[in-house]
């Protein structure tokens, strides 16, 4: 038994040497096989002809093709040599017999005495008892075994390495033919593995709540191969050489980026770059080209072997290496196709469930928000910027779905339950109907909650809570009126910069800010100045090399070091707010001196605006985003110099726990409802109240009803939330007795537990606090 791929990531066992192929499938055989698909006959007749041709060319007495059907069953679809009446009658379960073992493991089986093999299963209708030698190889498509190709002879013999290679090459060509539909009748066999692959239930990390039904769209989709064979292997080898050089140069350019000059992430990328020179991987591609395959088909053949092995890999290190090789194959196919990108956000269907290994906030906003029904990531964390943007756009999002880019095919039906962290791939009709009912119930609940629009956000014991929304685009402004929000507590100006091809001029910025103020009317809008850096990059501006960008050159640090950028934005804000109130805040302030320096720039711009005859704003309020814990020990000085404080809980708690919020490994290690976090925030709230400075929480914590309940319980009276969550938060507020909750928190904040989530859920249930489904009972 020989594995389809060798012992290491490059596809060979260390020390293995392979002699040049002597008996390879003749190029004319491959050409004849491909030509058969175009013949004006039925798929069954084509398949019958193909097994006869393979048997003749490989000097085999028997050649058979088994196809995987629904229910993990392999059915004999065509044979030359076995009894004809066995076709579509003989079936083996995956794992049963030699054929079933190949399907279960993806291994090659080569034996001189099939009937003595421990896995042999006899089927009398085939009349195969006279055949002794057996060679079977898997037919692999998208990393899944979709069929098995076998040959048999009466003589006791082991097939040699070249015959095994020949069968594997033929199997790879058959896999592409299966996918095209030329060999399998779609109308007769709608349950075939290649046409309707197995259904899967996948566990996921909940990131943005919601339920969605749609079709899979790969952020980096599979490249389809239209040309399987080539007349000139030398020309294909030359094409491969050019594509490999282009691949290496593109990776070198990636490593040359300033923001990747140091740090652990660079070491990972350097290891990834080394695989582009892997001799075993490249040699296997070259050998496949020598058999008559095109360069693209050869890369795909080796990629399918890698994917098959990936599905059986238990060692996490080996699994990572195989994932790297799979990704490199995609990049190599991209260069062979002469394309510059794998994904086209403008081409997504109307019911798109986006599948990606990871996704940046900038990449997400490139997509049409009206077409995105949900997002599934292989990585992801609750406080990553892409999560924040997805929540702002009301797009259900889950993460930590292992191997998603391999499991999903473009167009696969998907049911996404981001409420419970479950994804159904290729769901049954019953599941789809259940999801449709859930979506309908969710929409109905939203309609019921919408009745709260004109009701005040006042608790049972008479405490009024200011409820605003977070926004980033002009398209978010209708939600301000639709939800009855009190205002915009956070307008993220940087997202508008991230979606542009070049830096916006002062006039362009002013036009946008003026439009925002026009649409908001009398409602308060708080603009946050440009908050770029960390994982928020502008496509037209290069960031410096940093080992830890989350703690690096970002936000106000960039604004103060490049004052022309900050002054241009302040100039635009002043022009937009002529005669109207202007509220702005500076992000990532770590010391009072930074606030003073930023205010000095604002004063210069106000003086300039007046000197040029501009009408001043009716009032100017200046605040800070409280995100850096060091600022807590400067509060007395700070509160004398600001008009308001906005707490950015995402970064604040990341720094408080020294926990990278973008690291999926740490996604659930620390809870925002930890006693330490709530106690810290309560002290901050009390000191701001004592100084008479309004405090608003505008981080993700405020957008989750349970967490928002805790914030109100520790004294927060102003919340700025995602528009999609405003009604849920308001419903919670109107059902809450703050006095009782505050007394409960007084008792438990000194606890040593890692989280108060379960006690708070239990308290909410006992006191009839309205929380979204799935949060109203402890789990």
User: What are the residue numbers of the active site?
Assistant: 385, 698
The answer to whether the beta carbons of residues 102 and 138 sit under 8 Å apart is: yes
DSSP 304: H
Sign of the C-alpha dihedral computed for residues 95, 97, 102 and 103 taken in this order: negative
Residue bearing tokens 């009803």: 705
779 vs 777: CA distance, rounded Å: 6
The answer to whether 701 and 711 have CB atoms below 8 angstroms apart is yes
Output the six-digit token pair for 771.
């929380």
Residue 688 token pair: 């701001």
Name 546's Cβ contacts closer than 8 Å, sequence gap at least 6: 259, 262, 263, 552, 553
C-alpha 226/C-alpha 238 separation (Å) is 19
Residues 214, 436 contacting (CB under 8 angstroms):
no
Element (DSSP H or E) covering residue 406: helix 404-407
Structure letter (DSSP) for residue 229: B
Q: Which residues pair with 216 in a beta bridge?
A: 353
Tokens of residue 227, six digits: 């040309």
Which residues make Cβ contacts (< 8 Å) with residue 40, sequence separation at least 6? none
Between strands 109-111 and 133-141, the pairing is antiparallel
Residues 6 or more apart in contact with residue 124 via CB below 8 angstroms: none
d(CA 587, CA 80): 73
Tokens 């990390």 locate to 205
Q: Hey, how many other C-beta atoms are within 10 angstroms of the C-beta on 75?
A: 18
Across the beta sheet with 205-208, the strand order is: 200-203, 422-425, 413-417, 211-218, 352-356, 372-377, 397-399, 205-208
Q: Which two tokens stand for residue 273?
A: 């770059």
CB 766 within 8 A of CB 741: no
Residues composing the chain = 779
Cα distance between the two ends of the chain: 48
Reference 367, options 352, 381, 357, 377; nearest CA is 352
Query: Measured between alpha carbons, how far is 591 from 633 in angstroms, rounded to an integer?
Result: 9
Helix axes 279-290, 161-180, angle to 10 degrees: 80
Burial class (CB in 10 A: 0-12, 13-18, 19+), 508: middle
Cβ atoms of 395 and 208 within 8 Å: the answer is yes
Q: Identify the DSSP state of 274.
A: H
Read off the tokens for 188. Answer: 């007769």
Pick from 510, 486, 507: which is nearest to 578 by CA?
A: 510
Q: 141: number of CA atoms within 13 Å, CB side?
A: 25
CA distances from residue 578 to 162, 367, 514, 583, 599 in whole angstroms, order as listed: 80, 34, 9, 12, 19
Residue 76 pairs with which residues in a beta bridge? 66
Q: Alpha-carbon distance 297 to 283, whole Å?
A: 14
Q: Answer whether 656's CB lies under 8 Å from 608's CB.
A: no
What does the radius of gyration of the chain's CA atoms come to, in whole angstroms?
A: 31
The owner of tokens 């001799």 is 279
Contact 34, 51 (CB under 8 A): no
């Amino acid at each position: 038994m020989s594995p389809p791929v060798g012992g290491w990531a490059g596809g060979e066992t260390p020390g293995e040497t392979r002699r040049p192929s002597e008996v390879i499938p003749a190029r004319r055989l491959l050409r004849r096989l491909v030509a058969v698909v175009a013949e004006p006959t039925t798929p069954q007749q084509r398949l019958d002809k193909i097994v006869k041709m393979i048997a003749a060319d490989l000097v085999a007495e028997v050649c058979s093709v088994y196809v995987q059907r629904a229910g993990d069953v392999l059915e004999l679809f065509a044979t030359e040599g076995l009894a004809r009446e066995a076709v579509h009658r003989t079936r083996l379960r995956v794992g049963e017999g030699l054929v079933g073992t190949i399907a279960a493991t993806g291994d090659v089986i080569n034996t001189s005495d099939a009937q003595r093999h421990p896995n042999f299963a006899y089927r009398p209708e085939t009349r195969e008892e006279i055949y002794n030698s057996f060679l079977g190889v898997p037919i692999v498509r998208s990393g899944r075994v979709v069929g098995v190709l076998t040959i048999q002879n009466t003589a006791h013999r082991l097939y040699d390495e070249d015959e095994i290679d020949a069968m594997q090459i033929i199997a790879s060509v058959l896999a592409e033919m299966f996918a095209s539909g030329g060999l399998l009748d779609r109308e007769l066999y709608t349950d075939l593995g290649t046409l309707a692959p197995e259904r899967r239930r996948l566990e996921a990390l909940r990131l943005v709540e919601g339920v969605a039904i749609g079709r899979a769209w790969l952020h980096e989709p599979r490249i389809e191969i239209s040309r399987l064979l080539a007349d000139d292997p030398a020309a294909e080898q030359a094409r491969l050489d050019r594509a490999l050089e282009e691949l290496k140069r593109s990776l070198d350019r990636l490593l040359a980026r300033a923001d990747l000059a140091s740090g652990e992430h660079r070491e990972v990328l350097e290891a990834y770059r080394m695989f582009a020179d892997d001799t075993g991987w490249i040699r296997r591609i070259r050998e496949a080209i020598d058999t008559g395959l095109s360069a693209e088909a050869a890369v795909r053949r080796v990629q399918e072997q890698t994917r098959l092995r990936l599905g059986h890999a238990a060692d996490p290190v080996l699994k990572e290496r195989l994932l790297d090789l799979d990704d490199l194959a995609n990049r190599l196919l991209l260069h062979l196709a002469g394309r510059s990108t794998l994904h086209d956000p403008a081409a997504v269907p109307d019911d798109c469930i986006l599948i990606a290994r990871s996704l940046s906030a900038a990449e997400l906003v490139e997509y049409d928000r009206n077409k995105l029904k949900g997002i599934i990531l292989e990585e992801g964390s609750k406080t990553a910027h892409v999560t924040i943007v997805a929540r702002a756009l009301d797009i259900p999002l889950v993460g930590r779905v292992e191997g998603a880019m391999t499991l999903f095919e473009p167009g696969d039906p998907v049911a996404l339950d981001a409420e419970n962290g479950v994804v159904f791939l290729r769901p049954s009709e019953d599941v789809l109907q259940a999801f449709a009912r859930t979506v309908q119930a969710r929409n109905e609940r939203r309609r019921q909650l919408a009745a709260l629009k004109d009701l005040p956000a006042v608790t049972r014991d008479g405490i009024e809570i200011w409820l605003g929304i977070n926004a980033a685009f002009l398209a978010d402004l209708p939600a301000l009126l639709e939800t009855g929000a009190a205002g915009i507590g956070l307008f993220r100006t940087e997202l508008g910069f991230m979606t542009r091809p070049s830096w916006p001029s002062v006039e362009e910025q002013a036009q946008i800010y003026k439009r925002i103020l026009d649409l908001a009317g009398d409602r308060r809008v708080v603009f946050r100045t440009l908050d770029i850096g960390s994982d928020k990059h502008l496509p037209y501006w290069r960031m410096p090399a940093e080992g830890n960008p989350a703690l690096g050159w970002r936000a106000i640090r960039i604004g103060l070091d490049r004052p022309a950028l900050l002054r241009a934005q302040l100039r635009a804000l002043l022009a937009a707010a002529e005669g109207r109130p202007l509220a702005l805040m500076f992000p990532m302030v770590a010391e009072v001196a930074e606030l003073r320096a930023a205010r000095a720039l604002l004063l210069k711009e106000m003086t300039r605006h007046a000197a040029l005859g501009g009408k001043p704003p009716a009032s100017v309020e200046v605040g800070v985003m409280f995100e850096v814990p060091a600022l807590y020990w400067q509060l007395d000085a700070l509160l004398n110099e600001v008009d308001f404080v906005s707490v950015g809980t995402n970064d604040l708690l990341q720094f408080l726990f020294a926990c990278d919020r973008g690291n999926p490994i740490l996604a659930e290690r620390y809870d925002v409802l930890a006693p330490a976090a709530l106690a810290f925030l309560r002290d901050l709230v009390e000191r701001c109240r004592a100084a008479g400075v309004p405090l608003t929480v505008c981080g993700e914590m405020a957008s989750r009803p349970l967490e928002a309940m805790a914030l109100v319980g520790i004294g927060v009276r102003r919340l700025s939330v995602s528009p999609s969550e405003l009604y849920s938060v308001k419903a919670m507020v109107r059902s809450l007795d703050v006095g009782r909750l505050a007394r409960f928190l007084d008792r438990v904040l000194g606890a040593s537990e890692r989280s108060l989530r379960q006690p708070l859920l239990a308290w909410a249930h006992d006191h009839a606090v309205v929380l979204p489904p799935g949060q109203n009972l402890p789990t």
